[in-house]
Amino acid sequence: MSSQVRLLPTAIEGLSVLERLPVADWRGELERLYCRESLVPAFGQATVAQANRTLTRRKGTVRGLHFQRPPHAEDKLVACLRGEVFDVAVDLRLGSPTFLRWHGEVLTPANRRSLAIPRGFAHGFQALTDDCELLYLHTADFRPASEAGIDALDPTLGIGWPLPAADRSERDRSLPAVADGFEGVTA
């Protein structure tokens, strides 16, 4: 019997939660963190181009909301390896019926969930414990010229961060709010 994954839809079309179903015995367990075939419904035929790890030291820290503009737009799979985070994706897709809606998901090693974020979404998270470690799988390489973001504390979005926002980088504090007339990004 092999380890399995299951994609669960959210209220925002295209955004999915990946649930990992481990195989365990007396020695321990095996858990599949990534399976290209399982993610075809979420990401099409895109493959992983880059893997990144983050460590967030302080509870309450908010990172994001980040995305890459076309032609380097990316799908992301985000998993929590240590600690607990409130992971958020915001729909920025041009013409989407759920434009500017967000979905938040608590990710922990124990709940075995990942967020499968398609291109056209901004992503960020808040550390709910100290020393949170995340694994990111990206379908495009990072391109600084395509990097973009929006303010995670923008009242227009109304994200319900579970804790008061603590540490934010200078870069994240300077991200713009969603401006009047912002129509979204092409996926």
Q: Is 66 a catalytic residue?
A: yes
Output 160 or 6, whichever has higher pLDDT.
160
CATH of the domain spanning 4-173: 2.60.120.10
- Return all residues near 99 (Cβ < 8 A) that are at least 6 apart: 91, 92, 93, 184
> What b-and-e string marks burial along 137-150, b requiring 16 or more CB atoms within 10 Å of the CB?
bbbbeeeeebeebb
Among 34, 66, 103, 123, the active-site one is 66
* Mean pLDDT over each residue of the chain, to the nearest integer: 91
Among 103, 123, 136, 138, the active-site one is 136
> Could you tell me what percent of the chain has a pLDDT over 70?
98
Instruction: Report pLDDT digits (tens) over 11-42.
Output: 999 999 998 888 888 998 887 777 777 777 77
> Which of 71, 1, 77 minimizes the C-alpha distance to 36?
77
Please give the pLDDT value at position 1: 44
Where are the domains positioned within the chain? Answer: 4-173
| pTM tops 0.85, yes or no | yes
Instruction: Report pLDDT digits (tens) over 93-135.
Output: 999 999 999 999 999 999 999 999 999 999 999 999 999 999 9
